[in-house]
Amino acid sequence: MSACRLLQQQRVGLLQVLCSSGTAEILESVLDRLLAWDVLQWEDYQTLRPPNRPLCTSARELLDMVASKGEEACGLLLGALDQVLPGAQKASLSLGASAGGPPLADRPSPSTASQTLWSERPCLVVRLRPCIGAALRALVESGSLTTYDCDEVQLPINTPAQQARRLLDLVGSKGECAAKALLQFVERVEKPLKWPDSGTTFPAELLQYQKKLRSSVAAQSHFLNTYGGTGSLSLDDVYTEGLLEVSQGGEEAQRPIGLEDILGQVGTLNKDADMVLLLGEAGSGKTTLLQRLHLLWAREVTLENWILLFPFSCRRLSAEEQELSVRDLLFSHCCWPDRDPEPLFQFILDHPDRVLFTFDGLDEFRLRFTDEKRVCCPMQRASVAALLFSLLQGCLMQGVQKVVTSRPEAFDASLRTYIRKEVTLKGFSPERIDCFLRKQHRDPGLTSHVLQSLHSNTALFSLCHVPVLCWIVSQCYRELLGSEGSHLQTFTDVYIMILQHFLQRRCPRRLPLASGWAGGYAGVVLRLGRLALRGLQTACYVFSDGELQRYGVTDNDVATGFLIRSDSFSALEKHYEFLHVTMQCFFAALFVILGDDADGSAVFQLFCPRGRRRPSLAGVCSMPCLPHQDPELKGHTSEAERPNLQIMATFVSGLLSQRHRILLIQSCPASVLDRKRQQVVRGLSRGIQRHFRSIPRPVQGEKKSMHAMPEFVWLIKCIYEMQDDAMARRSVAKLKVEHLKLTYCNIGPVECSALAYVLQHLRSPVGLQLDYNCVGDVGVEQLLPCIRVCHSLYLRNNNISDEGIRKLTEKAVHFENFQKIALFNNKLTDACMMHFAELLKAKQNFLALRLGNNYITAVGAELLAEGLKENSSLKYLGLWGNKIKDRGVEALAKALQSNCRLVWLSLVDNGVGSAGARALAQLIKTSQSLEELWLSKNCITREGIEYLLEALQTNTSVKAIWLKGNDLSPEEVEELKQRDQRLTF
């Protein structure tokens, strides 16, 4: 069949694979190859580049464009897809005989360095991706690029692969000398693979074992293991990548990366360490991401520098009681060799840099780490805890790279000094929620209906940013589309929905869940709840068949679907685990409410503030249920993990809300429910008041502020789960602060919903600081109910785009209190400037607008200037780190001449030249209020400084003009300092 016909018949499938990951990487990789093979011209490539348009639009236009170019172009597109797509995705397509691209003989040899950049583009992207910073430094040193060019390449909004493409585009436009310099750098840093010497005797055995290991890892990773995978859900069909960001240290903005960059050089904090820490909240998709990484390695799609990969589950490791050596740990827990393991183990010892270990769920490791016993010899036998701690420290098997997943609050602080880089998984973006749900439902009509219902419920949509909740919604679409779907707002609502879904699916003849537990569900819930609570008390998440029998769990209970078989244990006895740790917390919460604790004392213990009585689950059950001294727990921790206790307490709060009383009333007397609810209210009130009492007295001249700790956010979430307006109002009635700081508190859309629900009841305006979180556009929308009580809003580094700003300004324009906003390090472009302009026109009491380190150009500055012309109240305007240049500065300076209150203006690092300095000189001449002007890191020459000096002669209000890092010689700097002390270099 001709290539054109193959393209036409498989159009739907091709569009799906080009857009399936939710990211542009597959499409961009295909474009690289088509550009290198002369299928596309540069103009075609620029038109199709995904950053300028929706991904699906670019994919459709690519197919149309290639089809119009004829049979050969269609064949080459199929060949590009054959090179780029993973094997499982290719299996469902027919790519014809052209797979692999044009024959080498048909490809003309490049005669210049610039042509080499073009023809070798796919390879150069791969080679440059891990060393963008080093390449830029080399090109700056050679004079091929300027520091301003480097900023253009290293936009934090782009992944390393996209930065590599931007670098190739930029160098290609600079000419032959720059192209040669880049190719020389690539040749210098390119290192050959470190295979064993040809004289050794075991390479064949190594490759045979590698093949077996890949097969084993592929088998374990092919089907979805989390969220209740039953072996029939292919990871290829449903995997959707979450938002990945890498910490850069200090207060720098986190940088987005792709899955393939987790083990790259980007974001390295300690080059001597071996551990990559992957952090994410419960349900954020850490296990699924690691499973995807394993599958891609097994298929030889990524991680090609690692010959062997050994995956470990910390759940399974924590159940290992006998002492092991490293060799035992590797081969018995992963894949045992067919022949003598000694040569293989010796290879691992000799080549640690070619071996990768992954440890999933370090927060679920039951054994305590200790420095009492460190292991340095790989042959020495020791406990699993000692081995794991020594491996993570690097004193054992130094040089072996480790990827470790954990919840942020659960990671042992003593291990932080051994981190090479820190990557955060922040759940789904709005686009990837849509992508995930489309993969779950193959019927386009049903998917559209589900998405429409979901988008109409903003509270539920914010919950879906947590992948496990998005999965629940996808499973319970019938309930979502029913009358109860519009009332879903909280975590508890969603888990009650899946409880109803599973129970009625397994027991269809019984009464609806809304009628209470009388239909026979109470026994199932109590037995599963008792087991769940037992597990939380002992930090146990996998249960043997014998343990299920001991706690009364029947085969029918297992058949409801809340427990699934655990494949991570190879023992003869069956093992089970809950669908997800949050599901275990939910059932434990149900048991706390419906169990034997009539006086509610155990409920109150869940909300004890840290530092008072330590939370304990011992009193929740009667002694026969959970004995204090379980002989099976010898040597294990007996203290429940605090993060899981907090999740459990959150569910207790939600279940005891008035909204869900009907579910519990037939299985628990009303008086007991009321008593337990009062205990929750008392515990939450004490916790909140404890935080308020800890607020120090303000220093004279400063505002009274409160820096909330993560536990404060948890208490607020519990109040939100109860959905009790009166309680929310009482909780903040005595809060008297001018500034509420919640930086680095893992605030996402869900937490924003809770904060807004409570903070909207504040009696006096407050400044709300949410810097360095993951609020996003949906989080901004959830905050809107409390904007009326905010006099200032700080949202640095929160992944906010123009759409979030549109929603914010539309609301904020109506509130008198709202006067300041800071949005450094986000994703703002020129498109949002018109919204800020409207805000400035409407609010004549607005004081501060700080938009540093975004993507604003002269076009956006001109739009903002339209609002500045009609505003006379603004005092602080910060636009540093954008690309405004002279044209934008001229528009701003002219608009600000009518402002009589401007005190501070920052245009640092904006490509401002002498023309811009001249326009600012006119502003200085007319302004009697301006005190500080920041112009550092620009392109201003001596001519521009002369304009500023002339303006300063008639202005006495300006106290300082900051000019460090402009186009001035050291001699000029010294001379200019003497002429006016207000010039600061």
Write the pLDDT tens digit of every residue in 566-611: 866 655 678 899 989 999 999 999 999 988 766 667 787 888 744 4
Cα–Cα distance for residue pair 535/640, rounded to 1 Å: 9
Residue 253 confidence class, pLDDT cut points 50, 70, 90? low
Cα–Cα distance for residue pair 400/967, rounded to 1 Å: 47
Query: Which helix (DSSP H) or strand (DSSP E) does residue 450 occupy?
Result: helix 444-455
Note the pLDDT of residue 230: 46
What number is the average pLDDT over the span 188-212? 60
pTM: 0.79
- The residues, any chain, with a CB within 8 Å of residue 650's CB and separated by 6 or more, are 491, 492, 714, 717, 718, 721
């245009």: which residue's tokens?
Answer: 907
Note the pLDDT of residue 517: 57
Beta carbons of 562 and 583 less than 8 angstroms apart: yes
Whether the predicted pLDDT of 884 surpasses 80: yes
CB atoms within 10 A of CB 900: 11
Beta carbons of 90 and 52 less than 8 angstroms apart: no
What number is the average pLDDT over the span 622-648? 52
Short-list 485, 475, 460, CA closest to 228: 475
What number is the average pLDDT over the span 855-872? 95
Topology at the third CATH level for domain 209-427: Rossmann fold (3.40.50)
Note the pLDDT of residue 249: 65
List the helix and strand counts (H, then E) for the chain.
45, 21
Note the pLDDT of residue 623: 31
Residue 624 confidence class, pLDDT cut points 50, 70, 90? very low
Q: Where in the chain is CATH 3.40.50.300? A: 209-427
User: Is the pLDDT higher at 886 or at 623?
Assistant: 886
Lowest-confidence range among 156-165, 658-667, 784-793?
Answer: 156-165
Token readout for 472 is 């629940």
Give SS3 for 630.
Answer: coil
Which strands form 739-741's sheet, in the order they lie side by side?
705-707, 739-741, 766-769, 790-794, 820-822, 848-850, 876-878, 904-906, 932-934, 960-962, 983-984
Whether the predicted pLDDT of 305 surpasses 50: yes
Encode pLDDT of 931-969 as tens digits: 999 999 999 999 999 999 999 999 989 999 999 999 999
339: left (phi over 0), alpha (psi -120 to 50) or beta: beta
Whether the predicted pLDDT of 778 surpasses 90: yes
Lowest-confidence range among 189-203, 216-230, 261-275, 588-602?
Answer: 189-203
For the chain, what is the mean pLDDT?
Answer: 84
Whether the predicted pLDDT of 239 surpasses 50: yes
Q: Which amino acid is at 828?
A: L
Cα–Cα distance for residue pair 473/477, rounded to 1 Å: 6
User: Is the pLDDT higher at 745 or at 86?
Assistant: 745
CB atoms within 10 A of CB 146: 12
Q: Is residue 961 packed enough to be buried (19+ CB in 10 Å), middle (13-18) or exposed (0-12)?
A: buried
Note the pLDDT of residue 824: 93
Q: Where in the chain is CATH 3.80.10.10? A: 828-984
Beta carbons of 580 and 285 less than 8 angstroms apart: no
Note the pLDDT of residue 628: 36
Beta carbons of 706 and 737 less than 8 angstroms apart: yes
Residue 769 confidence class, pLDDT cut points 50, 70, 90? very high
Cα–Cα distance for residue pair 905/876, rounded to 1 Å: 6
Which strands form 255-256's sheet, in the order they lie side by side?
255-256, 244-246, 419-425, 275-279, 401-406, 355-360, 308-313
Encode pLDDT of 335-394 as tens digits: 888 778 888 888 888 889 899 999 999 988 877 666 667 888 888 898 888 899 889 888
Q: What is the dihedral of CA 336, 342, 348, 351, to 10 degrees?
A: -150
Rg (CA), the chain: 30
Note the pLDDT of residue 572: 61
The CATH number fitting domain 828-984, selected from 3.40.190.10, 3.40.50.720, 3.80.10.10, 1.10.645.10: 3.80.10.10
Distances, alpha carbon 243 to alpha carbons 21, 66, 256, 260, 855, in Å: 12, 31, 7, 13, 20
Cα–Cα distance for residue pair 325/322, rounded to 1 Å: 10
Residue 19 confidence class, pLDDT cut points 50, 70, 90? confident
